[in-house]
Structures are given as structure tokens and as C-alpha cells.
Amino acid sequence: MNKVLICVLMILTSEVFAATECRKTTNKIYVGDDAALWLVFSGGGSAYINETDKNFKNIYSLVLAAHMAQKSITVRYSADNVQCSSESRNDIRGVWLEK
């Protein structure tokens, strides 16, 4: 019984931690249209985040700093198995600044 419960819990919690990280360089940054932040990446793909997202200001600051310094970022999306270079995404969970 305990083994079954552990297996079920592992399956259920794995969805909570599902995510994809994509290392990208911004080609364009757009802010406007009802406080939307659009990121267009070199090599394809784009991402969108709205000002109502609790991480909006932090993500915008970090992305702007990376763009001005010509540094890469790693974008973490909520979904698992995201195609990093061909999709437009709106499920950004966070952003890493790369050195």
C-alpha cells in the first residue's frame, strides 16, 4: 500500500515541477499595448508577459539589463517540452541572467 501511495504522489507532484528552460538572446523588446512586454529572440521564438504578472517588473528589469549588456538569458516556461525557437509563449515563470 505504501509503495502505491508513494508512486501516486510522485506522479502527481512531477506535474508541479514541469518546466522548460531556453537559453536565448533578445533581438527586440517591446513594451506597450495594455502594459504588455514582448520579447523577440534571435534565432526565432518570442515570449509575452503582462504587467499583471507578479514578476513583471523583475523580469522586465533583468531582460533590459541583459539586452543592454548583450548577454544571454535563460527563460523558464511553465510548460514541459517547449520548442524554444519556434513558438510564441505566454507562460514565463522566471528568467536567469547569463554571464
Residue 4 has what pLDDT?
56
Is 4 part of any domain?
no
pLDDT of residue 9: 47
CATH number at residue 53: 2.40.50.70
Residue 75 domain flag: yes
Q: CB neighbours (10 Å) of residue 49? A: 22
Report yes or no on 7 lying in a domain: no
Mean pLDDT per block of 10 residues along the chain (99 residues) reads: 55 62 95 92 94 94 96 94 87 92
The strand order across the sheet containing 20-24 reads: 20-24, 73-77, 92-97
Total domains, the chain? 1
- Domain range for 59 is 19-97
pLDDT of residue 71: 96
Q: Is residue 47 included in any domain, yes or no? A: yes
pTM: 0.78
Write down the pLDDT at residue 13: 44
Q: Has residue 40 been placed in a domain?
A: yes
